[in-house]
A and B are shown apart, each in its own frame.
Chain A
């Protein structure tokens, strides 16, 4: 079964706005990762947050983790047209399962 469920399925914003994507997961995790996929390509790792962390930053990315709610969120600040892509969360257990992803469109 899918481990992560991203929400929303699709998001369309203007350049400069912030984009927030959410992920809910089912089982306990060691860590949670976020990935990005440009159309028709492989996934690229963005950020990993450990189960004992609540928040992590990397450049314009901010990830939060709430293990009590089994949820995580990815915030992209000051979005750019180049951020247009699909974003996925994945548990970082041995089997690494993904959700269906959020399709983000940033309009110039």
Chain B
């Protein structure tokens, strides 16, 4: 059974902390994605990666960075957490460009206090 695993289901961090959200997939997928989801705004793309060490900015990359050192792992980094980054974060992966379904993790609900 295919699986995308996010490291935490719930996370509480303090303003100014550096926060790491980890995502691991076991399907040998090339593409990986990070989204944040806020009420009424749907899913907004933060960053995506189509290969190891490759990354592309999405629509809202400010305040975030990513790392993809290995194919199966895509990390989202909040350099200095702020309260406006309180949100649900969703990771996804897909096999290849333009033709396959994506698989999602269960989500990480991050609260910055």
Q: What is the interface of chain A, defined by CB distance below 8 A to chain B?
A: 1-2, 6, 30-31, 33, 35, 40-45, 48, 88, 90, 92-101
Q: Which residues of A contact B4 (CB under 8 A)?
A: 42
Question: Once A and B bind, how many residue pairs between them come within 8 Å at the CB atom?
Answer: 72
6 smallest CB-CB distances across A and B, nearest first, come from A42-B104, A100-B42, A30-B98, A45-B101, A98-B43, A43-B104
Count class of interface residues, chain B: 20 to 34
Contact B48 A45 (CB under 8 A): no
Q: Is the interface of B mostly helix, strand, loop or mixed?
A: strand
Nearest residue (CB) in B for A30 is B98
Q: How many angstroms between the C-alpha atoms of A90 and B33 in the bound complex?
A: 13
Q: Is the interface of A mostly helix, strand, loop or mixed?
A: loop
B66 within 8 A of A: no
Q: How far is the CB of A64 from chain B (nearest CB, A)?
A: 19
Q: How far is the CB of B29 from chain A (nearest CB, A)?
A: 12
Q: How many angstroms between the C-alpha atoms of A42 and B41 in the bound complex?
A: 16
Contact B99 A96 (CB under 8 A): no
Q: How many angstroms between the C-alpha atoms of A92 and B101 in the bound complex?
A: 8
B110 within 8 A of A: no
Contact A33 B90 (CB under 8 A): no
A94-B50 in contact given A41-B106, A42-B106, A101-B42 (Cβ < 8 Å): yes
Q: How far is the CB of A59 from chain B (nearest CB, A)?
A: 16
Nearest residue (CB) in B for A43 is B104
Q: How many angstroms between the C-alpha atoms of A88 and B42 in the bound complex?
A: 8
A96-B33 in contact given A1-B59, A33-B101 (Cβ < 8 Å): yes
